[in-house]
């Protein structure tokens, strides 16, 4: 993902615009695109400043979190359920989530699904 240009550079371009230069002239002077200078100027008029907004992050987990009670209820009813089985059970309730989405849900909630208990160590064939 590309990084946003620094607030310092944005402020210098906007100061040049305030000093009487056009957006295109200011952009040329600071070696940025004219479209960026125009956007920053419009952003400053609309928002009051032209600082970059945060990038990245989670934008979709709210969809599955809205059904957390249903998912956790299915998990309680059948503790050894696999992610594929859970996906199928949710599909029967007309909820469509991928296996990876379910895995991330469990990771966020610190839920680990172990299929069996750890085997006792063998006296005949020890493992390290």
Tens of pLDDT, residues 43-59: 999 999 999 988 888 88
Each domain of the chain, given as residue ranges in start order, spans: 7-47, 61-108
Question: Read out DSSP for 8-31?
Answer: HHHHHHHHHHHTT--HHHHHHHTT
Average pLDDT score over residue span 72-100 = 92
Residues in the chain: 128
Average pLDDT score over residue span 29-51 = 95
Whole-number Å distance between alpha carbons of 62 and 67: 9
Residue 7, CB-side half-sphere exposure with 13 Å CA sphere: 7
In the prediction, which pLDDT does 56 show? Answer: 85
Q: Is residue 37 scored above 70 in pLDDT? A: yes
Higher pLDDT among residues 105 and 80, named by residue: 105
- State the average pLDDT for the chain: 89
What sign for the dihedral angle of Cα 109, 113, 117, 119? negative
In the prediction, which pLDDT does 126 show? Answer: 63
């Amino acid at each position: 993902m590309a990084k946003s240009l620094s607030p310092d550079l944005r402020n210098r371009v906007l100061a040049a615009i305030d000093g009487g230069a056009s957006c295109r002239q200011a952009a040329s002077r600071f070696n940025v695109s004219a479209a960026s200078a125009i956007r920053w100027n419009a952003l400053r008029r609309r928002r009051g400043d032209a600082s970059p907004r945060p990038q990245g992050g989670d934008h979709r987990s709210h969809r599955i979190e809205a059904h957390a009670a249903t998912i956790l209820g299915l998990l309680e009813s059948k503790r050894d359920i696999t992610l594929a089985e859970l996906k199928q059970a949710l599909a029967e309730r007309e909820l469509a989530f991928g296996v990876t989405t379910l895995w991330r849900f469990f990771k966020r909630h610190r839920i680990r699904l172990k299929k069996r208990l750890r085997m006792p160590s063998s006296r005949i064939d020890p493992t390290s």
